[in-house]
């Protein structure tokens, strides 16, 4: 079996494969039940390696422990991009997971037309044949940037959340910040301390009053996303299901008068953005905090998508090809969801699965 990706979801799958007695395909290449994890990063940490500098353990939403391995207490001021990768590294070492990195999977294809035949997993480091694949590639490598007329004519800088490092680079600037999600609100609160920020969203952001009771609202959100993926619908953004919370940074931005939303601009011009009311707002930078989509391009040859662009799921299993499991996808796009999905995918996979190196 091949697991693609070693973030929270892939590591959870690895843990459960170990527990169920799957051998390392690296130590025992011919073993009947064996697995390998292929990860594009050059070190442990998944997407956490790339979070912006000022995202600390105090400002993340909360990171669930990986299975069977408690996080040791960390300084709340520690950057998440250091603390989480250190935790993942310790987990990988403790669990002795067979992870190969850096290995980027470029495509997955069917070796033949047999429904239980092998899948060929092509990567920049060779090809693997597997009876099943657990895909855990997250979203970070697939940022969404919407298209607006005149975008290419803009004379200033455009960047996505993915490229944001810290507020210092915006000092004294005029910034158009686009997006209505959690990252947008965090970045608005930060950058508005050193720059003039104009916040644009397509829809009026909805802030939930009275906090978030995960055991109630969390369950409700998960059922809605599950219903969408089981119907093969394209899922919306995280915030379209969860809405926004009055987090300390949202409240701080509100208190400073920074949480002022404008309707989406209609056009981008060399010196700025043309507002819905026809006026021009000159800006130096456009920051697209417009989210991410599941990074599944390498699975395209398997034609898992329906005519609406969605992938119909049964739990973690793809309805169109039961050999393929997607974890950290749909309802499992959170650290706790990724944990559970890793467990569920391994549980549901049949016995006698084994990968073998075809070429490298
Ligand atoms: C800014 C931000 C903050 C967040 N904060 C929280 C939070 O506080 N709490 C929470 O529960 N959730 C949070 N989330 C959601 C978060 O993304 C998930 O909870 C979780 O970290 C995702 O884990 P993952 O394993 O699915 O993906 P990732 O951590 O993205 O891991 C995917 C791995 O797959 C690798 N990969 C990708 N493509 C390939 C390929 N083709 N071949 C090989 N390897 C590949 C990547 O390099 C990466 O190592 C946050 C998301 C964002 C964007």
- At 335 the pLDDT is 93
User: What is the distance in A from the centroid of ligand 1 to the CA of 98?
Assistant: 19
Q: 110, 119 in Cβ contact below 8 A?
A: yes
Summarised one tens digit per residue, pLDDT across range 244-296 is 989 888 999 999 999 999 999 999 999 999 999 999 999 999 999 999 999 99
Pick from 259, 121, 104: nearest CA to 190: 259
Answer yes or no: CATH 1.10.3720.10 is held by domain 2-141+292-357. no
Instruction: Determine if ligand 1 sits within 6 Å of the CB of residue 179.
Output: no
Instruction: Determine if ligand 1 sits within 6 Å of the CB of residue 136.
Output: yes
Separation between Cα atoms, residue 231 and residue 249, nearest integer Å:
36
Q: Hey, where are the domains in the chain?
A: 2-141+292-357, 151-206+243-288
Instruction: Determine if ligand 1 sits within 6 Å of the CB of residue 61.
Output: yes
User: What is the distance in A from the centroid of ligand 1 to the CA of 294?
Assistant: 10
CATH domain 151-206+243-288 topology: FAD/NAD(P)-binding domain (3.50.50)
The pair of three-digit structure tokens given for residue 56, joined into one six-digit string: 């600390």
Closest-CA residue, ligand 1 atom 15, reads 334
User: What is the distance in A from the centroid of ligand 1 to the CA of 108?
Assistant: 20
The pair of three-digit structure tokens given for residue 85, joined into one six-digit string: 């990768």
Instruction: Determine if ligand 1 sits within 6 Å of the CB of residue 7.
Output: yes
Please report how the helices 8-19 and 335-348 are oriented relative to each other, as an axis angle in degrees rounded to 10.
Answer: 40
Instruction: Determine if ligand 1 sits within 6 Å of the CB of residue 99.
Output: no
The beta-strand segments (E) located in 169-326 are: 174-178, 196-201, 207-208, 244-245, 261-263, 267-269, 272-274, 280-282, 285-288, 313-314, 317-318, 321-326
Separation between Cα atoms, residue 105 and residue 353, nearest integer Å:
19
Q: pLDDT of the chain along its 360 residues, tens only?
A: 999 999 999 999 999 999 999 989 988 877 778 999 999 999 999 999 999 988 999 988 889 999 999 999 999 999 999 999 999 999 999 999 999 999 999 999 999 988 889 999 999 999 999 999 999 999 999 999 999 999 999 999 999 999 998 889 999 999 999 999 999 999 999 999 999 999 999 999 999 876 555 555 678 889 999 999 999 999 888 888 888 989 888 999 999 999 999 999 999 999 999 999 999 999 999 999 999 999 999 999 999 999 999 999 999 999 999 999 999 999 999 999 999 999 999 999 865 454 454 544
Instruction: Determine if ligand 1 sits within 6 Å of the CB of residue 160.
Output: no
Pick from 316, 347, 325: nearest CA to 130: 325
- At 360 the pLDDT is 45
Pairing of strands 99-100, 34-38: parallel
CA distances from 206 to 225, 242, 264 (A): 18, 9, 16
Separation between Cα atoms, residue 4 and residue 329, nearest integer Å:
13
* DSSP SS3 for 279: coil
134-150 in b/e form (b: 16+ CB < 10 A) is bbbbbbbeebebeebee
Q: 135, 8 in Cβ contact below 8 A?
A: no
Please report how the helices 8-19 and 80-95 are oriented relative to each other, as an axis angle in degrees rounded to 10.
Answer: 10
User: What is the distance in A from the centroid of ligand 1 to the CA of 10?
Assistant: 10
- Beta bridge partners, 262, equal 200
For residue 46, is the peptide bond before it cis, meaning its omega torsion is within 30 degrees of 0? Answer: no
Q: Matching CATH topology for 2-141+292-357 and 151-206+243-288?
A: yes
Summarised one tens digit per residue, pLDDT across range 34-68 is 999 999 999 999 999 999 988 999 988 889 999 99
Closest-CA residue, ligand 1 atom 53, reads 140
Instruction: Determine if ligand 1 sits within 6 Å of the CB of residue 60.
Output: yes
User: What is the distance in A from the centroid of ligand 1 to the CA of 255?
Assistant: 32
CA distances from 120 to 106, 160, 164, 312 (A): 11, 33, 36, 22
Closest-CA residue, ligand 1 atom 49, reads 46
- At 285 the pLDDT is 98
- At 27 the pLDDT is 87
Instruction: Determine if ligand 1 sits within 6 Å of the CB of residue 315.
Output: no
């Amino acid at each position: 079996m091949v697991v693609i990706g070693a973030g929270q979801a892939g590591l959870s799958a690895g843990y459960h494969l170990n527990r169920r007695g799957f051998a390392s395909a690296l130590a025992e290449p011919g073993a009947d039940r064996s697995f390998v994890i292929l990860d594009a990063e050059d070190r442990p940490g998944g997407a956490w390696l790339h979070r912006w500098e000022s995202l600390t353990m105090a400002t993340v939403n909360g990171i669930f422990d990986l299975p069977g391995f408690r996080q040791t207490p960390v300084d709340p001021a520690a950057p998440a991009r250091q603390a989480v990768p250190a935790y993942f590294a310790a987990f990988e070492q403790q669990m002795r997971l067979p992870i190969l990195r850096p290995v980027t999977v470029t495509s997955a294809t069917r070796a033949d037309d047999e429904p239980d035949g092998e899948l060929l997993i092509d990567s920049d480091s060779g090809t693997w044949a597997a009876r099943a694949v657990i895909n855990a590639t997250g979203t970070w490598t697939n940022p969404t940037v919407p298209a607006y007329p005149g975008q290419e004519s803009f004379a200033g800088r455009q960047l996505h959340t993915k490229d944001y490092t810290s507020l210092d680079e915006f000092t004294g600037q005029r910034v158009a910040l686009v997006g209505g999600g959690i990252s947008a609100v965090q970045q608005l609160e930060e950058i508005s301390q050193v720059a003039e920020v104009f916040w644009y969203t397509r829809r009026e952001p909805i802030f939930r009053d009275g906090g978030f009771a995960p055991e109630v609202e969390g369950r409700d959100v998960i059922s809605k996303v599950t219903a969408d993926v089981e119907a093969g619908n394209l899922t919306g953004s995280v915030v379209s299901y969860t809405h926004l919370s009055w987090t300390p940074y949202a409240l701080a931005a509100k208190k400073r008068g920074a949480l002022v939303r404008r309707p989406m601009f209609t056009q981008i011009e060399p010196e700025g953005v043309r507002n819905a009311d026809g006026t021009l707002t000159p800006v130096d930078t456009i920051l697209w905090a417009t989210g991410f989509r599941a990074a599944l391009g390498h699975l395209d040859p398997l034609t898992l998508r329906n005519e609406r662009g969605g992938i119909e799921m049964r739990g973690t299993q793809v309805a169109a090809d039961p050999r393929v499991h997607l974890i950290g996808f749909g309802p499992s796009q959170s650290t706790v969801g990724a944990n559970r999905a890793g467990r569920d995918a391994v549980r549901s996979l049949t016995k006698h699965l084994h990968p073998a190196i075809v070429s490298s």
